[in-house]
Amino acid sequence: MMTRKLRRMILPTVLAILILLSVGLSIYIWTNPSRYERESKVSTASSNSTIATRTIDDIYLPTQLVHTDTQGNQTLLINKNVSLVSQFKEQISKWQARSIAKVRITSAKSYTALLNGQDSYVLNFPDSVTISMFNTIFNQNLKNYRSAEFSRIVIPVNDTDHLYLLNDSKHQIYSVSLKKKSLTAMRKVLSTASVKSIPVEMVYRNGSTYLDYTHRVKMQQYSYLLNKLSASQLANRLLDADGTSSVTVRNHKHDQEYTTGSYKRMTVNTKSSTVKYEDYSDAGTQRKLSFTEQLQKSYNHLVSIGVPMDNIRYYGYDTTSNSVIYRSYVEGFPIFNQTENGDVRIQMTSNSLERYYFSLESLQVPVPTTGKQQSVTLPSSTSVLKQLLAAGYKQSKLGSIELGYHWSRNTSSKLVIDLNPTYYVYYNGTWRTYTSMLSGS
């Protein structure tokens, strides 16, 4: 009798504990600081599965928001719970861009003065986009200078009628005349306690703007469950989209080669989980794509691959190989080392050859960070540069120094990826961590 009563008491208790545990894990996942990077807006059906993707205006959004106060002090603004850049996008989309004019700038000094103008906000793209893409991203309809390139948006607080589009490489400035411009809603968003300010300085030199971190930076570590695409399903999607072709598989050591006919080939490196896809169907046919067309078409190719796009953003354009580059981001910071180059590359040549280079692996859902240390304090980028020069690295070969995340396998579980904050240095054409450069590894 007593045993039966005990069983009746234990069962509800165990169920209650399980329910509470489930609710607790759900709350953690949905309130994780990286959650906002994973918001999907569209579901695109493929031949094999439903792929969560994001619209082109999300993929090509700026990645950084920098504020310059009335004294000229600059800070990088971040909110762990919501994307401030997306909030700015929502506001700019409500403004009416009536016209655009090219501003005559005679010197880099004048360009820098506007870039670092007091009491202003700057939205930074990782690389150049076109004014036509500005229309797409911010739901505007500027008719002139559509092919012109820019990489920064300067929004003066006290100028109620304009914003400015800046092109670093030629220190060009385009003035956009606005109607209904208001920063009232953004002031409320930016005044919340959850907004984090990181001291920075935007430095313009040699036709490029660099973001220097002037103080030590405290960065959060993250861990994610690993998601891995099926190579066979991917091959069917890319090589046999209509379901009528025969896909052949050949194994060469660590490479699996999938082909259909003599025009399409997909090679999977089983050791690194990287994929190289080549389409020779139209090779030899001359084509001339504008920069805007390349950005738009590469996005369509990115969707067709079926790579989870929750964290992916536009990263840049490689003029040498005619490749549009995308990279995964967390809280506006790029992730490196996911592949050899740490990115997704879509190449479209002038003779109509197309190549994709990407990884089968991607981030799924955030999980509690393993280990005791959940944050890392990094030195200022100024200090990093001094250390590199002192170690013998040549200033002429040093490019940008970026604060980002290093992708690595969790030592306890192969199903978990750890993201550790560090500085990446573009040196002699390759991205390397500053610690590996200083240690000589």
Q: What is the 3 state secondary structure string of the chain?
A: CHHHHHHHHHHHHHHHHHHHHHHHHHHHHHHCCCHHHHCCCEEEECCCCEEEECCHHHHCCCCEEEEECCCCCEEEEEECCCCHHHHHHHHHCCCEEEEEEEECCCCHHHHHHHHCCCCEEEEEEEEEEEHHHHHHHHCCCCCCCCCCEEEEEEEECCCCCEEEEEECCCCEEEEEEEECCCCHHHHHHHCCCCEEEEEEEEEEECCEEEEEECCCEEEECEEEEEEECCHHHHHHHHHCCCCCCCCEEEEECCEEEEEECCCEEEEEECCCCEEEEEECCCCCCCCCCCHHHHHHHHHHHHHHHCCCCCCEEEEEEECCCCEEEEEEEECCEEEECCCCCCCEEEEECCCCCEEEEEECEEEEEEECCCCCCCEEEECCHHHHHHHHHHCCCCHHHEEEEEEEEEEEECCCCCCEEEEEEEEEEEECCEEEEHHHHHHCC
Residue 119 pLDDT = 96
Rounded alpha-carbon distances, angstroms, from residue 66 to 93, 161, 165, 188, 216: 19, 20, 15, 17, 17
Residues present in the chain in total: 441
Rounded alpha-carbon distances, angstroms, from residue 25 to 11, 29, 31, 279, 373: 21, 6, 10, 43, 20
Report the 10 Å Cβ neighbour count for 338: 22
Q: Which domains does the chain have, with CATH numbers?
A: 62-206 (no CATH), 227-360 (3.30.310.160)
Residue 17 pLDDT = 55
User: What does the pLDDT profile of the chain (441 residues) look like in tens digits?
Assistant: 444 444 455 545 544 554 455 545 444 444 444 444 444 343 333 333 444 568 999 999 999 999 999 999 999 999 988 899 999 999 999 999 999 999 988 788 999 999 999 999 999 999 999 999 999 999 999 999 999 999 999 999 999 899 999 999 888 999 999 999 999 999 999 998 899 999 999 999 888 999 999 999 999 999 999 999 999 989 988 987 666 678 899 998 889 999 987 789 999 999 999 999 999 887 777 788 999 999 999 999 999 888 888 889 999 999 988 999 999 999 899 999 767 657 899 999 888 889 999 999 999 888 876 555 688 999 999 999 999 999 999 998 998 999 999 999 888 888 999 999 999 999 988 899 999 999 987
- Residues in Cβ contact with 399 at an 8 Å cutoff, skipping those fewer than 6 apart: 425, 426, 427
- Report residue 225 as tokens: 């469950």
Residue 15 pLDDT = 46
Residue 42 pLDDT = 37
